[in-house]
Amino acid sequence: MKRFFNTTGLCDPKRHYMVDPFRNLYGDVSRLIENAQYFVIHAPRQTGKTTLLHQLAYRLNREGKYVSVVCSLESAGYPGITVENANTVFIRALYRTASLFIPSNLLPPNPDSYPSGTAVFSEYLTDWCRALDKPLVLLLDEVDSLYDDVLISTLRQLRDGFQTRPDNFPQSVALVGLRDIRDYRTRARADNPSIGSGSPFNIKAKSFLLGVFSSEEVRDLLNQHTHDTGQVFSGDVFEKLYEFSGGQPWLTNALANEIVAEILQDDHSREITPDMVETAKERLIAQRQTHLDSLVDKINDPRVRPIVTGIITGEAPSFDGFDDALRYCRDLGIIAPTAPVQFANPIYREIITRILNSPLQEGIDQDIARATWYLNPDGSLDMDKLLQAFVDFYRWNSESWLERFQYREAGHQLLLMAFLQRVINGGGRIEREMALGNGRTDLMVFWRGQVIPVEIKMIHNSRSEPDGFRQLSRYMDKLGQKRGYLVLFEKKTSEELPWEQRIRREVHHIEDREIILLGM
């Protein structure tokens, strides 16, 4: 059977190119199962959690020491469902899916054998375990999709059954979802009286975060395609694909699939070039498939917003719970797992920025945003003219626009990016460098051979401007450019500092570099 890069649902080694689903976790997981422990596996969406669970169940059943099944609790994951109805949903889901993993003689009791509405999930598990001649390993997916009393009740039932394992309850239970168990409280409401004095959140022995692919794993994934087809992902192609995806499993497969199946139409005789990776990236961003569109919900989360704001502005936020918010964003896969605090990969960075500035971008008058207005006779971009147009636009629109903007603290940066994006989309592109704590936002404007560095910085004190010159000089050296733009935004309102005093344009020569400063 012909294999391909999978971007939807479970991975099957017979049909898909695959990285080892256990990612070096099997030894640790098997020891916990052997020691009859509960454990958590959490990771962002489409990173291979469900594939891992299915492969784990199949492997445990093949080895013959345990009976193992996977059951998703997602069907009960909506507000308002009662505990009684949720128990029924769990039981029927477990009975329905168990046949995918075990033979009929090992299946759990038929739910219809219980009087309607009387079955309790923990009692059902007890009845099943007593009928088995091997310990049960239960792998529960989407646990953190449950709400309120249903989540509390489920965790409490699992905790209570822990004392009677393995003869009367599963020997080991895996709780799997997007979040670690410490974050389940947000789904159950911290003030929920059902939590009581005996916390249901202390039932796990260990948590595993299923991370992104390493460079070696991405290389192995691409090499599987080469082995099957002879079509090579060269070193340059691999480096660019890994850079854009950051090893995120869905993005890695989506980029490779976009190149092989869509751009090259499965013609394996054609060469894969680095430019195709760039094209695939732009196409994925434009398509905004479900995986990328799900970022909308994440960036509206109150715990996520300060971190995203800090990355865009370059300013380190100071608020209670910062460390928890940082860990939460890492668990969701929004930001990189290690310092500096930045978006997890360039595609997320671009998508999140475009999502945030799209209302601003769409509100910019089409007449102002015509690219032809800002071109020289030879077709090159007149960046001076473009930024001067933005200064005028900013003076007359910024205060009313930013006041209504959800991400108001990052509004100055996003407004400039929206304005540039609206114009540059006509024949170029913008790349961004941003990280929490660096005090700035760096942009690279690419236009038909031109590379134009732009640094955005807020004025906090007398050091802001000289710091901006130093930072932009280093950025220009990195890009090999002798001309760049420093855009300084005042935090003061027009009442505190009139426009006539804040708008300025200055040309500075620092060593062999020319820096145009625009203050507003």
User: Please, where are the H alpha helices in 42-183?
Assistant: 49-63, 83-98, 121-131, 148-161
- Distance, in Å, from the CA atom of 326 to the CA atom of 435, rounded to the nearest integer, reads 13
User: What is the C-alpha separation between 146 and 335, in angstroms, rounded?
Assistant: 25
Q: Quick check: 191 pLDDT over 80?
A: no
Predicted confidence band of residue 193 (pLDDT cuts 50, 70, 90): low
Q: Given a cut of 70, is residue 60 above it in pLDDT? A: yes
Q: Where are the domains of the chain?
A: 26-209, 215-292, 321-519
Closest among 187, 202, 73, 92 to 139, alpha carbons compared: 73
306, 335 contact by CB (below 8 A) = no
Query: In the 8-state DSSP scheme, what is residue 367?
Result: T
pLDDT score of 200: 63
Which of 372 and 234 is assigned the larger pLDDT?
234
Structure tokens at 96: 């329905």
For residue range 345-361, list pLDDT tens digits in order.
999 999 999 889 888 78
Handedness of CA 355, 360, 361, 362 (dihedral sign): positive
| 451: helix, strand or coil | strand
Mean pLDDT, residues 119-126: 96
Q: 26-209, superfamily in CATH?
A: P-loop containing nucleotide triphosphate hydrolases (3.40.50.300)
Q: DSSP string covering 143-184, please?
A: GGG--HHHHHHHHHHHHHHGGGTTTSS-SEEEEEESS-GGGT
DSSP 381: B
CA distances from 115 to 73, 111, 112, 381 (A): 22, 9, 7, 75
- Return mean pLDDT, the chain: 92
> Does the pLDDT value for residue 189 go beyond 70?
no
276: its two tokens: 């195709």
What would the pLDDT profile of 455-472 be if each residue is shown by its tens digit?
999 999 999 999 999 999
Q: Determine the Cα angle at 454 with ends 452 and 457, to 5°.
A: 175
Rounded CA gap, 380 and 144, in Å?
Answer: 53
> 58 and 67 in contact (C-beta within 8 Å)?
no
Q: What pLDDT is stored for residue 197 in this prediction?
A: 45
Q: Give the C-alpha distances (Å, rounded to integers) separating 497 from 235, 502, 506.
A: 54, 7, 19
Digit-coded pLDDT (tens) for 142-176: 999 999 999 999 999 999 999 999 999 999 999 99
Residue 192: pLDDT band with limits 50, 70, 90: low
CA 318/CA 515 separation, integer angstroms: 32
Establish whether the linkage from the previous residue to 340 is cis, with ω within 30° of 0. Answer: yes
pTM here? Answer: 0.89
Report the interhelical angle of 346-362 vs 305-313 (nearest 10°).
90
- Mean per-residue pLDDT for 26-51? 95
Residue 518 has pLDDT above 90, yes or no: yes
